[in-house]
Chain A
């Protein structure tokens, strides 16, 4: 009995020492996976995932607190990419967080109505609105992510969503009709 206990205790002790030492010796800082996840998110910063922006959501996924299907702007493509990165089964977008937009949108400010209150400027996470207090504001469309966060604060409801229509330069072709026996997407 004593041999058992002693042997095991000693061996365990040796292993414990080894591990404890190497835990300190081989300590690694930072968590590259968060960056990888963040790189896959659309950076709309809209908060629909219930996290205050894309990076917090990425951190939550890395910690295993959030599911991969909470980002409506990213939609199916982002879910697939995340599933691929994390080696889990892809799943459909969680409808609680919203629906995937099929055409990208930006917002436009009706410059005749805008009173220049700057509330929208403060709301925009990517500083895509320019203008100063008491002057009308404009959205730089190429920088607007379409997060719509600027819409609720506007006291005079002068911000409208506009769809970005595809042109011959941004067009994407549709997959053909797969016929009677349809291979499904992943």
Chain B
């Protein structure tokens, strides 16, 4: 696709994406109070992987003292992110611990005991100076600050901002999932900072405009952002209300709404000259640039009827979930399930021992009567309701059939990997099939097979190399044997040195026999006459070493 320099990327009239749902928002639950800063707690658990990409490498040892904001894990690869200590204190352990991951598996975490001194590492805020810095320098800054996308996927922001040809920055303040209000509250309370962050991103990617998209069920946020935009007055920003349809906050869906075009399959939004960032990401970048503060805190919504005082809290990354819950008044008696994320895309936590991470935008504790429990599901009746709501225009029922029969070829042919796991299909399915779970299983299994295939390709290469080496060695050995025999024939009398030579020959023969054994029957057929006789002769010799 070419670059349309003169065409406006963003339509004046909104478009729409296919499918989608109108959901009950339940947002009032947590917007009653301003964002509450959460006081520090005793222990923090910082997972080394809180982002997409390679796991970070720990920079500290057990017993080290760390300062607040100190980098304690460095990016493990190009696509990776740094992690920082949320408080000053001591590293008490580096070990596997429950993390908020859908698998429920533990992962490597750094445990830090707070000394409550709140000692920061040395900070050198850049401030407005960033205007004089190159994109490259700013990206380094963002990367070192460990900033990842806070819209859900936690993709390292600096990597995302290397995209070329981006004219338009879209700030995603849609927040389409029910219950979640952290972006809403952020925009209401810190509109200026969000804009400042967006300005920095705009500077990095050399954008010409920035559209802030907000669902029309958040009038306060729209008003706040609008006011800030007017105060800014540069004309760089524009606030755009979008209809409340789940999942309009999905990157691809939002792009479709705003530009009327679809990101080509398998390509990036940059193809349409846009870049999407969550408002909280912009805010985090603002903090990094103006306060030299890495991403060690975020706003999270703690909500649901299972929570005594639903509200938004500003919380340090690594804070155990149970402390957050306690801060919000604890569980109510009806509390039934603890969910990280929203009710559509979140996943339940096996315990509240796990820490909150960078991507944790919501802690949802649902009560028995508001949660829908998956019963044993009925077979798919192919009603097609799921097809109607799928925003990716997939055939969820077909994916389900293939996934459940482990037909990995077909499931991929039907574009499984284009599924954004939004859950719309499962929401409407009259048979109550946990569709997304099927897709997730299929996706992880296919990825696993991909890894296995790579491993087996490697093994094949190594095996072939191994075979070739054996072959070569055999040839060389035969050559040597032949020469030796000739020599022996020449010097029939000189028997002194023979014993040594015989010993060497025997050793070689022994090795030969071993290999033959390893290669089993096949060897017998290919071995030539001399080798065979050698092998027979050497049988006796090899007896001993194998049975010590």
Contacts and interface: CB of A to CB of B under 8 A. Distances in A.
B459 A43 contact: yes
Given A43-B460, A127-B469, A171-B444, 19 more contacts: A43-B456, A43-B457, A45-B463, A122-B514, A125-B518, A127-B466, A128-B462, A143-B459, A167-B105, A168-B49, A168-B107, A171-B103, A171-B105, A173-B103, A174-B441, A176-B374, A179-B376, A179-B378, A185-B405
Nearest to A127: B466
Nearest to A155: B548
Contacts, number: 129
Interface string B384-415: 00000000000000000101111101000000
Majority secondary structure, A binding face: loop
B450 to A, nearest CB: 11
A80 B404 CA distance: 14
B444 A125 contact: no
Contacts of A186: 405-407
B456 A52 contact: no
B101 A119 contact: no
Nearest to B47: A168
Contacts of B376: 177, 179-180
7 contacts: A42-B459, A126-B462, A153-B546, A172-B444, A173-B444, A174-B441, A183-B405
B438 interface: yes
Closest 5 CB pairs of A and B: A43-B456, A43-B459, A126-B462, A52-B522, A171-B103
B379 A145 contact: no
Contact of A168 (B101, B437, B445): B101
Contact of A176 (B434, B455, B521): B434
Contacts of A126: 459, 462-463, 466
Interface string A88-109: 0000000000000000000000
Contact of A42 (B102, B379, B438, B452): B452
B511 interface: yes
Interface in A133-184: 143, 145, 149, 153, 155, 166-181, 183-184
A169 B55 CA distance: 9
Contacts of A127: 462, 465-466, 469
B27 interface: no
B11 interface: no
Interface of B: 49, 55, 99, 101-103, 105, 107, 374, 376-379, 401, 403-407, 409, 434, 437-438, 440-441, 443-445, 447-449, 451-452, 455-460, 462-463, 465-466, 469, 511, 514-515, 518-523, 545-546, 548
B522 A56 contact: yes
Nearest to A156: B548
Nearest to B521: A52
A84 B376 CA distance: 31
Contacts of B518: 122-123, 125, 149
A47 B463 CA distance: 13
A77 interface: yes
Nearest to A174: B441
A123 B519 CA distance: 9
Interface string A33-52: 00000100111110100001
Nearest to A150: B518
A116 interface: no
Interface residues of A, number: 48
Nearest to B105: A168
A56 B466 CA distance: 15
A166 B105 contact: yes
A41 B452 CA distance: 10
B341 to A, nearest CB: 16
B434 to A, nearest CB: 5
Nearest to A77: B449
Q: Determine which residue in A54, A153, A171 has the highest number of CB atoms from chain B within 10 A of its CB, and name it.
A: A171
A78 to B, nearest CB: 10
Nearest to B99: A168
B385 to A, nearest CB: 18
Contact of B520 (A47, A166, A174, A177): A47
B103 A80 contact: no
B404 A183 contact: yes
B470 to A, nearest CB: 9
B457 A84 contact: no
Contacts of A171: 103, 105, 444
A185 B406 contact: yes
A76 to B, nearest CB: 8
Nearest to A177: B376
A172 B99 contact: no
A7 to B, nearest CB: 49
Contacts of B456: 41-44, 145
A75 to B, nearest CB: 11
Given A43-B459, A126-B459, A126-B466, A181 B437 contact: no
A73 B137 CA distance: 50
B521 to A, nearest CB: 6
A112 B102 CA distance: 39
Contacts of A84: 409
Nearest to B518: A123
Given A173-B444, A176-B438, A183-B379, A80 B406 contact: yes
A71 B99 CA distance: 37
Contacts of A47: 520
A54 B404 contact: no
A151 B49 CA distance: 36
Contact of B463 (A80, A125, A173, A177): A125
Contact of B379 (A52, A166, A175, A179): A179
Contacts of A143: 458-459, 462
Contacts of A176: 374, 377, 434, 437-438, 441
A53 B463 contact: yes
Contact of A43 (B445, B463, B545): B463
A38 B49 CA distance: 37
A167 B107 contact: yes
Contacts of A38: 460
Contact of B514 (A119, A179, A180): A119
Contacts of A43: 455-457, 459-460, 463
A184 B460 CA distance: 33
Contacts of B463: 43, 45, 53-54, 125-126
